[in-house]
Amino acid sequence: MAKFKTVTVIISDDGSVEFNQEGYSGKECQGDIADLINAIGEEKKVTKKPEFYKDNKVQVRQRF
C-alpha cells in the first residue's frame, strides 16, 4: 500500500507562509516544495521536523 504525502500551506494574517509536510522522510521534502517556495519569494525561517533527519546515516570509523 502506497503511503500518501501531504503538503499543507498556511498563510497567516501577517502574510507569512508555512508549509507543513506529512508522509516525507529525509531530504525528499525539499525538492517537492521547491517550486512553491520560489513562487512566494525568499525563505526567512526554516524549521525541520525530526523526519528530515530520519534517513541521514552517519558512519563513523576509528583507527587505533
Element containing residue 19 per DSSP (H, E): strand 17-22
The three three-digit cell numbers of residue 35, written as one number: 517550486
- Express each pLDDT in 17-38 by its tens digit: 888 888 877 777 777 788 787 8
The residue ranges of every structural domain in the chain are 6-53
Could you report the per-residue pLDDT of 7-19, keeping only the tens digit for each? 888 888 887 788 8
User: In b/e form, how buried is each residue of 32-64, taking b as 16+ CB within 10 angstroms?
Assistant: eeeeeeeeeeeeeeeeeeeebeeeeeeeeeeee
Percent of the chain with pLDDT over 90: 0
